[in-house]
């Protein structure tokens, strides 16, 4: 279903998920319905009663074994978000539904505590924000991420978090406490330094300059915070790779990473429509270069290449990133490892330990 650009929203297309049996299209049947004003576009949040909260991974591309998501969907509305297709599992659209029909898991901290208390649980760093941003706008009211951090701090459990929100500064008290024990690593995503491009790409996320100030605030507080340049979009943001790394370094970042744009499932149609609406003269150039970097396809799902691509231009991107990091002093020395030895299993019985 085609939509006009909605202020403050990313998707320009409300498409059915891949599991839907029917497709719907808004048309004019002669009675003027297509010209009627639509009701105000609002964000809704539905409580999800989850049975478990820790997700286990065995992908060789991921630097973590466990992840945790407090929400489904993300109000930031980033058009490139690889998690958009997951809304199809809820019989909702990966388009505007993903950024407006959200799900919250208010029992997340309780479930986390129960899972960490199991005798079979083996401590390994948990990644927060693998499929949604834990500090998206609704976190201000729901405070689920805050509750999760309180459990992790109590158990001295290591974790990493990726976000593009300045709201993370709210939890500096917990983050600084855990950083002293090498229990936390933060990455702030900076896709572009161009505020106009950012407003179209990620309409409800913090501005690029605000994210850079967050990198500085975290590092000055003693919380190790790097930059994630993601995703790199050919002909749209790729020319900014070095300038983003430079700006992040000047704001205190000493670690960095990047990923190439990924377009799984329905995201291909969503992103192409967004390109044609906002950057029609660049649209075909962007997709042509992306196909070159993905082996002739619009998405590369192969382990080992899905985050970097392959071919000449992918190799050039790798070299540019490495050279910029070497010049700036990013990713120098040994990679920070989060400490799992301090983990204290939560006591759910209320009884004290004999030792």
Q: Does residue 304 form part of some domain?
A: no
Q: Does residue 338 form part of some domain?
A: no
Count the domains in the chain.
1
As a dihedral over the C-alpha atoms of residue 228, residue 159, residue 168, residue 197, rounded to 10 degrees, the angle is 20
Residue 95: C-alpha distances to residues 71, 75, 269 (Å): 17, 12, 10
> Under the phi-then-psi rule, with left for phi > 0, alpha for psi from -120 to 50, and beta for the rest, what region is 235?
left
Q: Does residue 235 form part of some domain?
A: yes
258 has pLDDT over 50: yes
| pLDDT tens column, 101-159 | 999 999 999 999 999 999 999 999 999 988 999 999 999 999 999 999 999 999 999 99
Q: Does residue 160 form part of some domain?
A: yes
Q: Does residue 245 form part of some domain?
A: yes
Q: Does residue 184 form part of some domain?
A: yes
Residue-number span of the structural domain to which 174 is assigned: 41-260
pTM of the model: 0.91
Q: Does residue 93 form part of some domain?
A: yes
| pLDDT tens column, 116-132 | 999 999 999 999 988 99
Q: Does residue 329 form part of some domain?
A: no
């Amino acid at each position: 279903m085609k939509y006009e650009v909605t202020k403050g929203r990313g998707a320009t297309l409300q498409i059915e998920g891949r599991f839907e049996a029917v497709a719907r299209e808004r048309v004019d049947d002669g009675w003027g319905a297509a010209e009627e004003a639509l009701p105000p576009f609002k964000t809704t949040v539905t409580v999800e009663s989850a049975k478990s909260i820790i997700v286990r991974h065995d992908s060789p591309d991921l630097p973590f074994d466990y992840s945790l998501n407090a929400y489904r969907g993300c109000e930031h509305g980033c058009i490139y978000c690889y998690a958009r297709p997951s809304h199809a599992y809820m019989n909702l659209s990966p388009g505007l539904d993903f950024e407006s029909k959200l799900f919250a898991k208010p029992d997340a901290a309780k479930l986390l505590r129960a899972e960490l208390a199991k005798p079979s649980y083996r401590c390994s760093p948990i990644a927060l924000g693998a499929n949604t941003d834990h500090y998206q706008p609704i976190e201000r009211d729901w405070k689920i991420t805050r509750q999760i951090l309180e459990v992790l701090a109590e158990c001295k459990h290591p974790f990493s978090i990726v976000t593009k929100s300045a709201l993370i500064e709210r939890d500096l008290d917990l983050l600084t406490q855990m950083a002293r024990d090498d229990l936390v690593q933060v990455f702030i995503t900076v896709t572009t330094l161009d505020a106009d491009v950012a407003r179209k790409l990620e309409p409800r996320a913090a501005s690029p300059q605000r994210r850079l100030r967050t990198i500085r605030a975290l590092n000055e507080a003693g919380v190790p915070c790097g930059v994630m340049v993601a995703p790199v979009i050919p002909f749209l943001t790729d020319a900014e790779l070095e300038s983003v790394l430079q700006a992040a370094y000047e704001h205190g970042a000493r670690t960095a990473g990047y990923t190439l744009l990924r377009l799984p499932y329905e995201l291909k149609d969503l992103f192409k429509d967004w390109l044609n609406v906002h950057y029609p003269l660049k649209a075909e150039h962007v997709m042509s270069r992306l196909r070159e970097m993905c082996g002739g396809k619009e998405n590369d799902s192969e382990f080992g290449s899905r985050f970097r691509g392959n071919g000449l231009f992918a190799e050039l991107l790798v070299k540019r990133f490495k050279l910029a990091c070497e010049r700036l002093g990013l990713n120098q020395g040994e990679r920070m490892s989060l400490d799992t030895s301090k983990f204290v299993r939560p006591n759910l019985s209320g009884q004290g330990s004999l030792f």
